[in-house]
Amino acid sequence: MRLIVSALLAGAMFVPAATATAQVTTTLATPISGTRLDISATGEATRVPDIAIISAGVTTQAATATDALGQNATRMERVRAALKRAGVADRDIQTASISLQPQYKYVENQAPILTGYQASNQLSVKFRDIRASGKILDALVGEGANQINGPNLTIDHPEAALDEARGKAIATGRARADLYARALGMRVIRVISVSESGGYSSPPPQPMMARAQMAEDKTSIDPGEQQLQISVAMAFELQ
């Protein structure tokens, strides 16, 4: 009886082990019988930016920290109200930084003398109508904004442009492989691997911040064009 039980237990232990072994799969790479050719290629797509991101804010100074912050808060409320009146959505207005710094007067061979405080509040504003953003900036200055920086021009939805660049990169890589193969008296048999090594978005060549037109003395922003690039690495087998 003990021998039978032991045999049954041994069988019960063996079955799961055999089952687990059967579930393991191994994938072996197909060996290359010809010549391997590695190619790097870049594809490009050009688009007109449709988003301008600009930093706008207020810097104030006063004798006390409370006064500096109070004056700053009052002017910032006017700036925010101007943005709302211009149709800028809440989701496109984000606080970038708030700071309060003491101000000192330095005299040689004397301890620094506290002269007051400087408060700063900066907003990051996303303008979805680039052509109208200059007019809005002029309105912000009229409401008390005295710090404006930018713009950072970008494309809101770059996926289609990036896919276009990918297609061009692949086509360029394949054409280049055919060129090498013909020069070597060979032909391309197959693609071994393709990997994307990253994308790049070049800054527009001609955006201008705070460019005043002589006739109207208004700020304008020119979107220009932006180039998006995708690079790929491809490997081919030649025979």
| Residue-wise DSSP of 17-74 | HHHHHHH-----PPPP-SEEEEEEEEEEEEE---EEEEEEEEEEEESSHHHHHHHHHH
pLDDT at 178 (0 to 100): 97
* DSSP strands (E only) in the chain: 35-47, 51-62, 93-105, 113-127, 147-154, 188-201, 211-212, 219-220, 226-238
| pTM greater than 0.85 (yes/no) | no
> How would you classify residue 109: left for phi > 0, otherwise alpha for psi between -120 and 50, otherwise beta?
left
How far apart are alpha carbons 125 and 76 in whole angstroms?
Answer: 13
Say if CB 70 and CB 89 are below 8 A apart.
no
pLDDT at 20 over 80: no
Confidence of residue 204 (pLDDT cuts 50, 70, 90): low
Query: What are 123's strand-pairing partners?
Result: 56, 95
Is residue 101 helix, strand or coil?
strand
pLDDT at 76 over 50: yes
- Percent of the chain having pLDDT more than 90? 68
Is residue 155 helix, strand or coil?
coil
pLDDT at 157 over 80: yes
- Angle at 108 (CA atoms; ends 102, 110), nearest 5 degrees: 65
- Write out pLDDT tens, residues 110-154: 999 999 999 999 999 999 999 888 889 998 999 999 999 989 999
- Write out pLDDT tens, residues 190-203: 999 999 977 666 66
- Hey, what are 230's tokens? 């995708």
* For residues 154-181, average pLDDT: 96
What angle do the packed helices 130-142 and 65-85 form, to 10 degrees? 140
Is residue 110 helix, strand or coil?
coil
Query: What are 200's strand-pairing partners?
Result: 229
Tell me which amino acid residue 86 is. Answer: A
* For residues 40-69, average pLDDT: 95
Boundaries of every domain in the chain? 29-48+158-238, 51-154
**What CATH homologous superfamily does 51-154 map to?**
Protein of unknown function (DUF541), domain 2 (3.30.70.2970)
Torsion of CA 24, 25, 29, 31, to 10 degrees: 100
CATH of domain 29-48+158-238: 3.30.110.170
Question: Whole-number mean pLDDT of the chain?
Answer: 84
